[in-house]
Amino acid sequence: MSTKIYLSEVMMPSQTNPSGNVHGGELMKMMDSTAYAAARKFCRSNVVTARVDELEFHTPILIGDLVTCTAEVIYVGHTSMEVAVNVEVEVLEAEQGPQHALSAYFTMVALDRNGRPMTVPKLELETEEAKAAFEAARKRHELYHERKKQRQQTMTKSAEKSH
């Protein structure tokens, strides 16, 4: 089953600052919507965004540019999924093709009808590229949990010292 979703939109003046550059928040919203659709299609349930990692802007996007988001589930845990989102921009007046504009990894959590986390299906890894993306995401997932544990320990120690 394909987990890839595409979403395209021409950028309008209401999405930009006075200089004509598209607001980063507008692009993040579009990316989040695309990640949501890919994750929901994969697990066939509602999902929520838990985390965004490695959001990187590579080139400006202007009024009138065509923006295409591509989102694909690349990793699944027990109740969460990592969705890779890439954004391409195309200046429609130019003959140059689409250029990579930004990318990020969205962690989405599957929810049951009561709003509680639920188990997600296993991800079928059919290519070497999919296996490599899954492994890189697994490492990001483990690193995040290590850092989270360290932050909690630091906060506990700080709270103990203040009492």
- Tell me if 47 is assigned to some domain: yes
pLDDT digits (tens, 9 = 90+) for 135-155: 999 999 899 889 888 888 888
**Would you say residue 162 has pLDDT above 80?**
no
Q: Is residue 77 part of a domain?
A: yes
pLDDT tens, 6-29? 999 999 999 999 999 999 999 999
**Strand arrangement of the beta sheet that strand 66-76 belongs to:** 5-10, 66-76, 80-90, 99-111, 46-57
CATH number of the CATH domain containing 39: 3.10.129.10
Number of domains in the chain: 1
pLDDT at 1 (0 to 100): 56
Is residue 133 in a domain?
no
115 inside domain: yes
With respect to residue 55, please indicate whether it lies within any of the assigned structural domains: yes
In a domain, 163, yes or no: no
Q: Structural domain of residue 76, as residue ranges?
A: 5-124
- 99 lies in some domain: yes
Ramachandran angles phi, psi of 73, nearest 5°: -70, 125
Residue 67 lies in a domain: yes
pLDDT at position 108 over 60 = yes
